């Protein structure tokens, strides 16, 4: 009985350590391919639909004319969302309000955007925001860029 209990506890601990190792390895693989930054996201709503869920912690990666957004607490090798540079419209930037301050990283700035028909809010540090806006403005000639 005691042996079964010890083996069970040991198996749970090994699985927990392997799970944490998997999160770390996945993040390293995401970062290896290019510029990344911590970026919480709230994918609000398509025009006329109810608002989406709350903030989700993630990592965004620049990939040519796309931003790939990955959830941190996921094992998926592919990005959850891909945002195309010429389809992103920045509407406003603001500081987190109320309960958002608890849900986001300290010092985050919220950027309200539109991507096609979707309302999206991205929360990132001031430094990441500067890089993101510079990336948007550095679009090739002829591409429409809308930066508030």
* Closest residue by Cα to residue 39 from 133, 147, 132, 101: 132
State whether 58 and 28 are in the same domain: no
Cβ–Cβ < 8 Å for 68, 79: yes
What six digits make up the tokens of 44?
């609000």
Q: What pTM was computed for the model? A: 0.75
State whether 39 and 111 are in the same domain: yes
State whether 28 and 52 are in the same domain: no
Mean pLDDT of 59-88: 87
In a domain, 142, yes or no: no
Residues 3-61 have pLDDT tens digits of: 887 788 788 888 877 777 666 665 666 666 668 888 999 987 665 555 556 899 889 99
DSSP 101-144: HHHS-TT-EEEEEEETTEEEEEEE-HHHHHHHHHHHHTPPTT--
What's 127's domain CATH number? 2.30.29.30
Average pLDDT of the chain, as a whole number: 82
State whether 57 and 73 are in the same domain: yes
Cβ–Cβ < 8 Å for 57, 39: no
- DSSP assigned state of 56: B
């Amino acid at each position: 009985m005691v042996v079964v209990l010890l083996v069970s506890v040991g198996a749970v601990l090994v699985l927990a350590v392997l799970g944490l190792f998997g999160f770390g390895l996945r993040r390293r693989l995401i970062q290896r391919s290019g510029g990344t930054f911590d970026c919480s996201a709230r994918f609000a709503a398509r025009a006329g639909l109810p608002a989406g869920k709350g903030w989700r912690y993630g990592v965004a990666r620049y990939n040519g004319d796309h931003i790939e957004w990955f959830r941190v607490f996921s094992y998926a090798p592919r990005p959850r969302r891909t945002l195309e540079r010429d389809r992103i419209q920045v509407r406003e930037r603001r500081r987190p309000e109320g309960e958002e301050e608890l849900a986001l990283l300290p010092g985050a700035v919220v950027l309200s955007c539109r991507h096609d028909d979707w309302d999206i809010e991205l929360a990132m540090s001031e430094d990441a925001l500067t890089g993101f806006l510079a990336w948007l403005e550095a679009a090739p000639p002829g591409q429409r860029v809308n930066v508030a």
